[in-house]
Structure formats: structure tokens, C-alpha cells
Structure 1
Amino acid sequence: MELLQTSRFRLIALIWFCSLLFLLFQGGRLSFMLFTGFSAIVLYLYLVSKSGISGTQMTRSMPLAAGERITAGTSAEVHLKFRIPGFMPIPYVLVTERLRRRRGSETTYEVSFVPDWRRRGEVRITTPPLQRGRYSFGVTSCSVEDIFGLYRYTKNIEVPMSFTVFPQKVRIKEWQDFNQMYLGRHLNSISSEVQRETTQFNGVREYIYGDPLSRIHWNASARTGTWKSKEYEKEALPRMLVVLDCAAEYKGRAHFETAVSTAASVLDYGLHSDLPVGLMTNEAAVYWAAPKRGKVHYEQLLDRLIDVEADSGIPLEQVMQTRKLELDSRLFLVFITPREDASFLQFLRWCKMKGMQSSVLQITPEPGRQAANWQKELITSGILSYRIGALHELPAALGGGKA
């Protein structure tokens, strides 16, 4: 492009010089009109080059409501505001915006706007549905052209900005089998007698409507300007460990995304049920987070799910065997995997022999005879099992409707 514009500049300069020679040696009205016309064009091109595009200022924003997050499968709106110094009228400005996804490709968006009389303008870009991951904006290019299309003047603006697209999740209102297993048939909620609070002070949390005055932490409330409540340790809480299988054979990207979203939904259930939850993924770099309670710990686990990929060849049972010292009878293991083989079944029976309760959320888009036989085998072994073809099926499956 630069070489082409240099050639055009030389051509225009040559034509203008020839018109000058024609005026000097030939004279007359025709030569004067040609020289005047070419001089006006050259002056116009010069003024366009000084139009102020080189001093363009830009601000970028993404309007989101307080606490709102961008989740996978949704679009994002980007607002770009420009201010161009100078006085030369500009018919339009062409904007090229670049959006990069970490460990992914770059997407380019081209839009244009007509500056107002103050040489200001605004454009809005709506992205297509985004995948889970971390995104950042690259260099933004602003370009103007003359009316003849001879030159394009470009200004590259770099305004660093990044955002995160979180995995999808659904709200699990009740996990029937889990409640019966740990709370008994006569208790209807996780927040019950099995979670009686001790007198051991555990920290400060956000005020929940209905908290008695005795629970309000007055010092923290005065210091932060928002209501805070005291939090105490709880007794006999089951510890849930979510195990996301990254080494299994998934049928495409969407299949694995369903597994990741299922893991995010189970972690969300643990948060709202006030359970200690942990996460294990058998990626190339194995991730293990012991079960803990609290919003901060939940955010750390969710942050891990943003970057998780199905890029490992380490079998699930092999990774778990290396953590035998951290496995105890208080753990409730939630396996999220499409596997249905004998080796995995043998490992599940080993977990049951060690006193650990297990549950298998089998991610199988198309149920078949083999999947049905696998479900029967697990149920016969006393292992909770659910088949999930899509994320929206999860609440119904855990609420009591086994697939």
C-alpha cells in the first residue's frame, strides 16, 4: 500500500511539473487553466494530509450493568468515541478494530462514521456470539481518503483493554439424591441441622436480608459503608470435589463446552448451598484446588474454568491416584466426563471401597444402547449417575429425573 501511494505521489508531482512547464513555455489561457486546476488538486491533497487524522484521540468502552458478566454464547457491544483535531472537512472515517482471543484467532471489524461539525464521532460494534475465554483489543486503525481515492491516510491507535467471557451455567435449585444422601429423607434443604453453626468466628460476609441484629458486624459496616454480617464455622459439611475430565474424547468443541458449563453450574450450586467445593482438571498442567467455602474461593475456581482446554492425555484415574493422600471419606466426588469404559468403572468402585461417595455426570449428546448399559452398570454398583445431552437438561436431571 505504501509503495502504491508513493508511486501515485510521484505521478501527481510529475503531472503538476509538466503543467508548470507547459505554462512557462507555451503560455495562454489553456495552459493557465491546466496549471491552476492541477495546483488546486495538489493543494487539496495537501490539506487532506493535514486533516488531523494523525492526532486522532479514541476512547473505548463496553457498557455493562453493575455485576453483569459476559457469558459464552452471548454478544458484546463495544463503543468507540473519536475526536479528530483540525479544521479540514472530512467526508467519512474508516475504522478497523481488532479483537484477539487468547490461544485463538483474531477477528477484524470494519465500520465507518461521518464526523460532526466538531470533528467528533462514535461507532458501535456488536460482536457475534463469543466463545469462553479471555479477549483483548489490538491496534485500532483510523483512515481517511481524498475524494479522488488517490491517498489513504491512516492513524494507528493503541488503547489497551481486555475482557473475559465466562462459561455458561444454569441454576440448580435442588440436587435430590445429594440431599437424601447427606441430609436424610426428612430434611428438605442443605441449610439444615447438618450445617449448624458453631461459635467459632470465621470472618465477615455481605448482609443478607433477615439477618438478626446480633449478627451485624458494626465495625466492618461502618468501615465499608455497606451492611456486613458475622460468619461462623459450620459443622459436618460434606466436601464436594468437582472433577472435570479433560483427557476424554469429546465430539467437537461444543461437546467439551457442555462439560465445562456443567462444572461451572455444579460449582455455583455449591456456592449457593454454602458447601466447601473444590476443582480438579487433568489438563497437561494438572489443577487441584481443595474444597473450601466462600465467594473468593468460588471465583478462583471459576477463573480456572475460563482457560481450561481438552488438551491432555493423562487418564483421570491416574491423576487421582497421585492424590490418594488427599482423598478421604468426607469427599463427594462429582465426575464430569463422557467416558463409559471398564477402567473408569473400576476406579469408581475403588473410590466407593475407600468410603467416598461418587456421582457421574455423563456428557453424552446422543444417548444410545451403550450409554444406557453404562448407566445401569453404575446404578448397580451404587454410584449416582446422570446422562446430560445439553446444559439445560442438568437441573431436571439432578432434581430427580434421571436420564
Structure 2
Amino acid sequence: MPTRRGIAVGAIGLVLAVGGFLAGYRELAALGVVAVLALAIALVWAGWPPRLTVEREIEPDRVVAGEPCRATVAMTSTARFRVQGLTGAERLVSQRREHSEVAVPPVRLPAGRVARTGYLLPTDRRGVLDVGPLEVARQDPLGLVRAAKTFGDSTRVWVHPRSYRLSRVPVGAARSLDGVVDAVQYGSITFHALREYVPGDDLRHVHWRTSARVGELMVREHVDTSLPRIVILLDDRESAHTEQSLEEAVSAAASVLLAALTADLTVELHLVGGRSLTGAEAGGGAGRARPYLDLLAEVAPGDGALPTAVQKLRQRHRGDTLVLVTGAGGAASLDSIGLLRDVYPTVVVAVLGHGAVDRLSARALPGVITLAANDAEEFGARWDAVSAW
């Protein structure tokens, strides 16, 4: 369809042609006819949508904020004869529903040929990006006519928060038989669930009664309930943060998370807004941090109540370490954290953002380790400076 320039050229050309003819100015009429002919030629040149197929690849689909993420597009022409001069733009939609575009380098695509082009995606901010669909357009050299068409589906990219290395993490605590709370890495074995038998399972764990009822071998699965575990509670309430303090809080939570996973501790991640992820849900292996970081990438300001989140965490058994990460705006609602001291032997409260030091110093939280910092990097330094957990 004609662009604004094309519409203007066509309208002015038509006025000049008619006016010049009626007024007897041949030169003026000729100029108007040339303008109208230019628009007509542009319509023939680029008036039909591009004929091609498009495939998009993004590598990697998960990056840390600030790291490069490259998209590669392969365009295959389905036209029989003509050469297509193509321009394009990749549509981007963030989790905040913000829309933007990334320009695709121009491509000259002969009939039946394949052309590849690449471009960098913006990863300066933590979040989730939906990339696509790709809009490809044909345009004449004068920019009078542009025919566009969208290709492909959207592809999701997770931009993980930045993190800072922590030198150590608390290993948790468990109550021994004599009633003393000790920092240990062993404990009782507790029945967890029944599952199908797989080769290599100990036959002593076969549950024969259930096996006879279902017609196949079923074995008891046990878990060690007192393995050191860190529970991270991230305050994602809009009232607790500014836009910047939320980013710093997410980075601080990511720092604790990665340090705990590096120390082979079991980690649970909870948001005050209600979402959560446990070690069983995240799975194991080298990529076990990915589900946690995906959840942190998806964090957005929302609603929720800190006392409600505290009541849910009170249902956990003894032997855990709780780390609450909030913003300066959440310092006024920390009274309920004291209810967790009889369930979690170690409770850490971190308040991040401008004014966090002043607001936290005005709160009395007996038996709770408190850390206040302006940003996540300062939080890491204060964390490492704790003499004993």
C-alpha cells in the first residue's frame, strides 16, 4: 500500500497534472504526470506482499541481563522470477506488555534462494521477552509503496537477573534426639511416595501389597527430611518496592539461590504474591538453577500479603534457614517475621533500596539477622561480613 510519502506524491502529482493542463502550463503538467507515473511504477514494483518462508533461531534463549542474545532469521524466497528487496522488523513484547521493535538488516533475495541475517536482542533489563512475529516488507527505492506481511510465531526469551558471588551460605539446622538444635547434614529418612519399580531398585523397598493390587511392582521412595535447606522468600509486592529496588531485590535473591545450589543445598523459592518452586519441581542435574532463574526473570510487581506468606511457611518442619528479601517499602510490615523464629532456627531479613538502612534500623527484630543495602552488590558484601549464622 502507498506510504505517506507515496500518498503525498500521488496527490500533488495529480493536482499538478490537472492544474497544469487546465492552465496551459505543459511543464507543470509534465511534472505532475511524472509523479503519478512514479507512484504507479512503485505499485507494480512493490505492491505485492513478500513471497517467502521464514525460520527464526535464538541463541541462547536464556541469558543474564547485559549478556548478548542473537537472533538469526533464514528467509527462503518462494517467488518464481523476481528478486525481492526486503526490510523487516522483529516485534518484541515484554512481560510488562511494553511493545517495541528491532530492525532487521535489509536483504536482497533472488527467486528460490535462501538468505540469512542476524541481529541482537535487547537484554539490558531483566524480564521475559516474546520475540515475533517477524514483519517483512517490500519497498520501492523511493519509499512510495510498502507491502508488509508477518511471518512465524513468537519465541520466548528469559533474561535472568544479575547475581553476585557469595562466599558462603548457612547450612541450616536440625533438632537432634536430645532436643538440641545442631548444624548437621544428616537426619531421618521419611516415606515420600510410591512409584513404579525400575531396574536397580532395592527389592527391600518393594511395597508388596500395593504391587499385588495394581499388578506391577511398586517401590517406596524415601527422602532425607533434615538435609540442609534454604527457603528464599522474595517480597514482590508493588507497595514494598520502587522499580529499581525490585530489580536489586531480585538480584540479591538470585545471589543467595546460586550460592546455595553451588553448596549442594536444597533450595525453595517463594514469592509473597503466591508463586513458588521447590527442589523436587526444579529437578536436578547441571541445569537445576534454570527453573529458579526463570521464575525470578518473570517476577513483576503485584499484590499479596506478607502475613499470609508467613503463615504458609510456618507449616514447614524445623531445620531450615529462611531468607526474606524485600524493599525499603516493606520494612514497615516485618512484624510477622518474628513468628518464624520457632520454625526456622536461622532467619535472615534483607532490605534493599534507597533508605533501607534508616528504615530497617527503626525496626526491632529480636533473634533475626538483618541486612540493609542500597543495591545487590552492597548486599553481597554485607552478607559475606556476617560472622556467624
Q: TM-score range by the shorter chain?
A: 0.5 to 0.7
1:107 deviation in Å? 0.7
Q: Are residue 237 (structure 1) and residue 227 (structure 2) matched?
A: yes
Q: Secondary structure at the match of 1:61?
A: strand
Is 2:226–2:319's contact at 8 Å kept on the other side of the alignment?
no
Q: Name the structure 2 match of 1:337.
A: 326
- Of 275, 278, 290 in structure 2, the residue corresponding to residue 287 of structure 1 is 275
Q: Name the structure 1 match of 2:58.
A: 62
Q: Are residue 162 (structure 1) and residue 156 (structure 2) matched?
A: yes
Aligned residue type for 2:99: E
Q: Name the structure 2 match of 1:307.
A: 298
In structure 2, the CA distance between the partners of 1:337 and 1:248, relative to structure 1 (3 Å rule), is farther
1:259 deviation in Å? 1.1
- Of 331, 341, 358 in structure 2, the residue corresponding to residue 352 of structure 1 is 341
Q: Tell me, in whole angstroms, the C-alpha distance in 2 between the residues paired with 1:39 and 1:133.
A: 49
Is 1:141–1:155's contact at 8 Å kept on the other side of the alignment?
yes
Deviations 1:51-107, CA, capped at 9 Å, x for gaps: x8531222222233xxx83123444322223333344455x4321221112342111
1:298 deviation in Å? 5.1
Q: Secondary structure at the match of 2:100?
A: strand
- Normalised to the residue count of structure 1, the TM-score between the two structures is 0.66
Deviations 1:153-178, CA, capped at 9 Å, x for gaps: 33332344222222222333313xx2
Q: Name the structure 1 match of 2:75.
A: 82
In structure 2, the CA distance between the partners of 1:290 and 1:154, relative to structure 1 (3 Å rule), is closer
In structure 2, the CA distance between the partners of 1:114 and 1:349, relative to structure 1 (3 Å rule), is closer
Deviations 1:228-257, CA, capped at 9 Å, x for gaps: xxxx96574233211111236445222101
Is 1:239–1:276's contact at 8 Å kept on the other side of the alignment?
yes
Is 1:248–1:337's contact at 8 Å kept on the other side of the alignment?
no
In structure 2, the CA distance between the partners of 1:10 and 1:309, relative to structure 1 (3 Å rule), is closer
In structure 2, the CA distance between the partners of 1:382 and 1:45, relative to structure 1 (3 Å rule), is closer
Q: Tell me, in whole angstroms, the C-alpha distance in 2 between the residues paired with 1:38 and 1:155.
A: 27
Deviations 1:239-288, CA, capped at 9 Å, x for gaps: 321111123644522210111222222222232222222122121xx234
Q: Name the structure 2 match of 1:382.
A: 367
Deviations 1:291-334, CA, capped at 9 Å, x for gaps: 6597447544433323222211x33123322554x133223211
- Of 75, 97, 100 in structure 2, the residue corresponding to residue 107 of structure 1 is 100
Q: Tell me, in whole angstroms, the C-alpha distance in 1 between the residues paired with 2:7 and 2:53.
A: 27
Q: Are residue 126 (structure 1) and residue 116 (structure 2) matched?
A: no
Q: Secondary structure at the match of 2:123?
A: coil
Is 1:194–1:237's contact at 8 Å kept on the other side of the alignment?
yes
Paired residues, number: 340
Q: Secondary structure at the match of 1:115?
A: strand
Q: Secondary structure at the match of 1:54?
A: coil
Q: Tell me, in whole angstroms, the C-alpha distance in 2 between the residues paired with 1:153 and 1:75.
A: 32
Q: Tell me, in whole angstroms, the C-alpha distance in 1 between the residues paired with 2:147 and 2:36.
A: 20
Q: Tell me, in whole angstroms, the C-alpha distance in 2 between the residues paired with 1:239 and 1:384.
A: 17
Q: Name the structure 1 match of 2:249.
A: 259
In structure 2, the CA distance between the partners of 1:8 and 1:87, relative to structure 1 (3 Å rule), is farther
Aligned residue type for 2:299: V
Q: Name the structure 2 match of 1:274.
A: 264
In structure 2, the CA distance between the partners of 1:145 and 1:289, relative to structure 1 (3 Å rule), is closer
Q: Name the structure 2 match of 1:316.
A: 306
Q: Tell me, in whole angstroms, the C-alpha distance in 1 between the residues paired with 2:369 and 2:250.
A: 20
| Identity fraction in percent | 19
Q: Tell me, in whole angstroms, the C-alpha distance in 2 between the residues paired with 1:140 and 1:49.
A: 19
Q: Tell me, in whole angstroms, the C-alpha distance in 2 between the residues paired with 1:2 and 1:40.
A: 13
Q: Tell me, in whole angstroms, the C-alpha distance in 1 between the residues paired with 2:41 and 2:275.
A: 63
Is 2:90–2:103's contact at 8 Å kept on the other side of the alignment?
yes
Is 1:328–1:356's contact at 8 Å kept on the other side of the alignment?
no
Q: Name the structure 2 match of 1:214.
A: none
- Identify unmatched segments of 5+ residues in structure 1: 17-32, 184-191, 203-216, 218-231
Q: Name the structure 1 match of 2:207.
A: none
Q: Tell me, in whole angstroms, the C-alpha distance in 1 between the residues paired with 2:352 and 2:254.
A: 14
Aligned residue type for 1:142: V
Is 1:277–1:290's contact at 8 Å kept on the other side of the alignment?
yes
Q: Name the structure 2 match of 1:24.
A: none
Q: Tell me, in whole angstroms, the C-alpha distance in 1 between the residues paired with 2:135 and 2:263.
A: 49
- Identify unmatched segments of 5+ residues in structure 2: 18-29, 175-182, 194-199, 201-221
Is 2:3–2:145's contact at 8 Å kept on the other side of the alignment?
no
In structure 2, the CA distance between the partners of 1:372 and 1:152, relative to structure 1 (3 Å rule), is same
Q: Tell me, in whole angstroms, the C-alpha distance in 1 between the residues paired with 2:237 and 2:380.
A: 25
1:195 deviation in Å? 4.4
In structure 2, the CA distance between the partners of 1:122 and 1:166, relative to structure 1 (3 Å rule), is same
In structure 2, the CA distance between the partners of 1:291 and 1:174, relative to structure 1 (3 Å rule), is same
Is 1:329–1:357's contact at 8 Å kept on the other side of the alignment?
no
Q: Secondary structure at the match of 1:385?
A: strand
Is 2:54–2:74's contact at 8 Å kept on the other side of the alignment?
yes
